[in-house]
Chain A
Amino acid sequence: MLVAGAASPSLTGNLVEDVRQLFVYPFMVNAFRAGTIVAVLAGVIGWFMVLRKQSFAGHTLAVVGFPGAAGATLLGIGALYGYFTFCVAAAVGIALLPSARGRGFSEENAITGTIGAFFLACGFLFISLYKGFLDGVNSLLFGSFLGITNQQVVVLAVVAAVGLGAMALMGRPLLFASIDADVAQARSVPVRALGVAFLILLGLAAAEASQITGSLLVFALLVMPPATAQRLTTRPASSLALTVGIGLLVTWLGLAAAYYSPYPIGFWVTTFAFAAYLLSHLAGAGLVRRRAPVVAPSVGRADVPSRVDR
């Protein structure tokens, strides 16, 4: 995975020394900066995406980013700008699609899938037009942490700040509209406008996540951390905080593992996020078993002694 020719880093076994070594090269410092920014934004937006059941929209937006990135590379401008342009344009497009209930995107929208597939094919065309670029396909689709410039880190940070600011402003009404659209609408919450705004923010988050995980693995940061957190807690604030925490952890671990191993970043981040999800299922099952007697109605008095035995 690392730059060819450079001496391959190896673990010393000393944790402090290994962590210090991670930050020796400026490209790794930028990778950590970018990864941190992306994990926070993707976590917050992804949490709402999972709650709103818009994972399919998130995936489609990310896939549409791929031809954008390939096209931008073909034109000689950074892939990041291609991701942003195409993801946001696609978000606006999906938001404008007529939907049955008049409240933005709905899962069953076959048009979304159709357009997603077409854009993926366009990306493949751009890549074959740009000869010699074929090595880059993997990083566009499955992620890379190499060659992130200072300027790109600034762009990522500014976009994330705008996205998080917007979420801070509209988070509560968006939660209301997501859970209880009819009542929210009667309370003058602009349900439809919030849906459109959220799709655009989802486009931004998918574009940022693509920078680290590639177009196809964005779910590692958009779906897995919130799905894990929502298994572990049902309190919105803790769940949101836990999502960001898990996202940061799997990104940092993934970067470190990719640095010290010959295997790519996309694989590592996804694997760590998947491990967290599996652990949450085990922990969740354990919690349910331990809590079951408390939740059980008091009519079940007969089984009290057996509980004490445990």
Chain B
Amino acid sequence: MTDVDVLSLTGAAIDVGGRRLWTDVDLTVRSGEFVAVLGPNGVGKSTLVKAILGLLPLATGQATVLGQRPGQANERIGYLPQRRSFDPSLRVRGIDVVRLGLSGDRWGITVPLRSSARSRRRVSEDRLTEVIELVGAAPYAQRPIGQLSGGEQQRLLIAQALVRRPALLLLDEPLDSLDLPNQGSVAALISRICRDEGVSVMMVAHDVNPILSYLDRVVYIAQGGVASGTPTEVITGDTLTRLYGTPIEVLTTSDGRMVVVGQPEAPAHHSDRHGGH
């Protein structure tokens, strides 16, 4: 892990619809780090992701993303928006959705007549196979994506975000609408990708428990303000109680894991039964 900043925000604030969502956000993601942006729904976490992608302008403050202004380096960012699952009637295979991550922004059609074009195509097909195996989606990548479960779709979308070997993964609520076992396994997958592939990960979440043990750094955004630091610094009963304005306890389990209790959203709320939104 080197000390290169992949992403940094200083004194950032953003306005949406004339309302200041959050202010004075300082955030740093270093190379190879797994950072979580936490906070209750509606606090502007997705807006933060859009600002990092340059889709929304900052009202104040500075942002540097992969050494450039937001929006200039999106080629090297793998982005997973907050989901919505795919329409069950969508008759497009999972592998085709992953392929869009590789070549979906290319104009025109390529006819692989020359041998160089053919070998390029082989390289991209190899990369597709590789990234689909990395996320464990090989058994169902050939099936229409609309017919897959939420967890299967999410793995394919992570593959889509990874396929161009990005330096930074921006994941917006990737565990939302997954059942508990899938939340655990997708969180473990993301952590493994972060360590093994050397990709920096910034994940937005409103429930910290499934990812808590993997995190290098957390940023908490709440109506009361922003707190950032390592999990042990930030995830304390006092800090969270102050941010949320409601009593929150942090417990340590017998195997040394921290569990946050008393958050506005309990984990059981996010089962597949509520996956329709």
Contacts and interface: CB of A to CB of B under 8 A. Distances in A.
A274 interface: no
Given A175-B100, A183-B81, A189 B91 contact: no
Given A179-B90, A230-B91, A295-B143, A188 B74 contact: yes
B158 to A, nearest CB: 12
Contacts of A173: 104-107
Contacts of B104: 172-173, 175-176, 180, 184, 187, 189
Interface residues on B, range: 20 to 34
A179 B103 contact: no
Given A179-B97, A180-B100, A185-B55, A169 B91 contact: no
Interface in B63-107: 74-75, 77, 79-81, 86-87, 90-93, 96-97, 100-101, 103-107
Contacts, number: 76
B97 A172 contact: no
B53 interface: yes
B144 interface: yes
B107 A169 contact: yes
B107 A172 contact: yes
B210 to A, nearest CB: 23
A171 B77 contact: no
B105 A189 contact: yes
A205 to B, nearest CB: 19
Interface in B114-159: 143-144
Chief secondary structure at chain A's binding surface: helix
Contacts of B228: none
Contacts of A171: 109
A53 B105 CA distance: 21
B96 A236 contact: yes
Contacts of A53: 87
B92 A234 contact: yes
A168 interface: yes
A17 B105 CA distance: 51
Contacts of A180: 97, 100, 104, 160
B79 A183 contact: yes
A239 interface: yes
A179 to B, nearest CB: 6
What 7 A-B pairs are tightest by C-beta distance, nearest first? Answer: A176-B104, A182-B81, A230-B91, A187-B105, A186-B79, A176-B100, A234-B93
9 contacts: A172-B104, A173-B107, A183-B160, A183-B161, A185-B55, A186-B55, A186-B77, A230-B91, A236-B96
Interface of A: 51, 53, 168-173, 175-176, 179-180, 182-189, 230-231, 234-236, 239, 295
